[in-house]
């Protein structure tokens, strides 16, 4: 998605809206609606942060109940986190109003919030915005593309661009569509989800199959990114399947094909989040191979990806590989340093735990001047591997977060 252009057509059977209700204070869109034209089977994953926001608590109850959903309302500018019982009361007030305006039951409505933690939830502003949402929602497929972009912009906080992608899949039952939208640029170190993500399809899927599929996909996509090592109180990924296509996916072949498409959409959104990381100028893949276990490979990848010293070296285009081996060493994984090799893209930097005899500093620095590169770490201790995406740590990241509430 370059130049803020939508790369896909919106999924059939969904309508969108994005309006301003004054939460951001600058006239920007801050309230979004996703509306399914028929009840949609829902699957969801949520943050494991021990301070879950009110909409996360509400969403967990909805997931347990298994009720099909019709509408998703998302506000930016206020997280409704650490707001106590009053925050839950305020959330239910907005649910009741939205249900009345849309003619739905409250059980059919899902809520997400993102923004500043600990501030009272702005119920009055959101209630005013609900009427604007209902008026703005796209009435047909022709209007959906612009409305989808409006919704994607309304859920942004420090994001610089909206994040939308999708795909079409030809199954044995016919063509199905997946559309994904997400927000996130800071507080990105997901644990079961990402900042906020929504995966929409017109396929029909069994609820338990859908939930298990989403959990697998999230582990391979949103849970493999980090911008700053901080896991949000509001992280949520919601997946809806409304069956508008008439294609019920049941066979192993169709489900495998569909899951591959869903994973590709989720990975594209995850990549967009890292690329749009607060102040980021680099996207780096940390790829650990030759590990004795997947768990060990993951610990090492995350230690390197979250190291402030490694990330600042990426920003400075400083091929300081000593910071990388230090992070590998403190990850808490048993390794043999004398067997570790490290490459920057195709440049061998470390051989056997020491500077490679043929390595030249300029060659490593040249790789780090690229906007995207891979740090390959081979432990030569087994057959397992793990990789994830990270960004650099810049002056702008500090400025953005120092001024976030100003």
Q: Kindly state the DSSP code that residue 9 receives in the 8-state scheme.
A: P
Structure tokens at 63: 């997931």
First to last CA, the chain: 30
- From the number of C-beta atoms within 10 Å of its C-beta (0-12, 13-18, 19+), residue 345 rates as middle
Catalytic, out of 171, 194, 231, 233: 194
C-alpha torsion angle, residues 209, 211, 212, 218 (rounded to 10): 140
Structure tokens at 70: 């019709």
Helices (H), 201-331: 207-220, 252-275, 294-306, 308-315, 321-330
Catalytic, 94? Answer: no
Structure tokens at 179: 């559309």
| Contact call for residues 164 and 148 (beta carbons, < 8 A) | yes
**Residue 318: CB atoms within 10 Å:** 14
111 beta partners: 73
| Contact call for residues 235 and 191 (beta carbons, < 8 A) | yes
| Contact call for residues 79 and 114 (beta carbons, < 8 A) | yes
Cα–Cα distance, 372 to 268 (Å, whole number): 15
Residues involved in catalysis: 194
């Amino acid at each position: 998605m370059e130049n803020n252009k939508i790369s896909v057509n919106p999924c059939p059977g969904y309508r969108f809206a994005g309006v301003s209700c004054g939460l951001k204070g600058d006239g920007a869109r801050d309230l979004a609606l996703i509306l399914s034209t028929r009840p949609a089977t829902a699957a969801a994953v949520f943050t494991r942060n021990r301070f879950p926001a009110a909409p996360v608590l509400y969403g967990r109850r909805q997931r347990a109940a298994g009720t099909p959903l019709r509408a998703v309302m998302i506000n930016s500018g206020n997280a409704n986190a650490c707001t106590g019982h009053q925050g839950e009361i305020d959330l239910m007030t907005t649910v009741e109003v939205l249900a009345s305006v849309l003619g739905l039951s409250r059980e059919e409505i899902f809520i997400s919030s993102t923004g500043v933690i600990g501030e009272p939830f702005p119920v009055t502003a959101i209630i005013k915005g609900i009427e604007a949402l209902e008026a703005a929602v796209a009435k047909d497929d022709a209007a959906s593309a612009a409305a989808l972009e409006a919704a994607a912009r309304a859920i942004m906080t420090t994001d610089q661009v909206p994040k939308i992608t999708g795909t079409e899949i030809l199954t044995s039952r016919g063509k199905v569509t997946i559309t994904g939208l997400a927000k996130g640029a800071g507080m990105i170190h997901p644990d079961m989800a990402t900042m906020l993500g929504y995966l929409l399809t017109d396929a029909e899927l069994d609820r338990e199959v859908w939930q298990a599929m989403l959990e697998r996909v999230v582990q391979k996509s949103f849970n493999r990114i980090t911008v700053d090592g901080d896991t949000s109180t509001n992280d949520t990924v919601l997946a809806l399947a409304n069956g508008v296509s008439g294609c019920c996916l049941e066979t192993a072949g169709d489900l495998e094909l569909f899951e591959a498409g869903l994973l590709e959409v989720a990975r594209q959104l995850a990549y967009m989040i890292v690329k749009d990381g607060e102040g980021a100028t680099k996207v780096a893949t940390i790829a650990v191979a030759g590990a004795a276990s997947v768990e060990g490979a993951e610990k090492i990848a995350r230690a390197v990806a979250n190291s402030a010293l490694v990330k600042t070296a990426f920003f400075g285009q400083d091929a300081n590989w000593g910071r990388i081996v230090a992070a590998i060493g403190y990850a808490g994984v048993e390794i043999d340093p004398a067997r570790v090799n490290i490459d920057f893209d195709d440049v061998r930097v470390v051989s056997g735990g020491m500077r490679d005899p043929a390595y030249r500093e300029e060659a490593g620095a040249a790789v780090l001047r690229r906007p995207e590169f891979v740090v390959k770490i081979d432990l030569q201790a087994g057959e397992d591997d793990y990789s994830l995406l990270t960004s650099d740590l810049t002056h702008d990241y500090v400025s953005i977060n120092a001024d976030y509430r100003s």
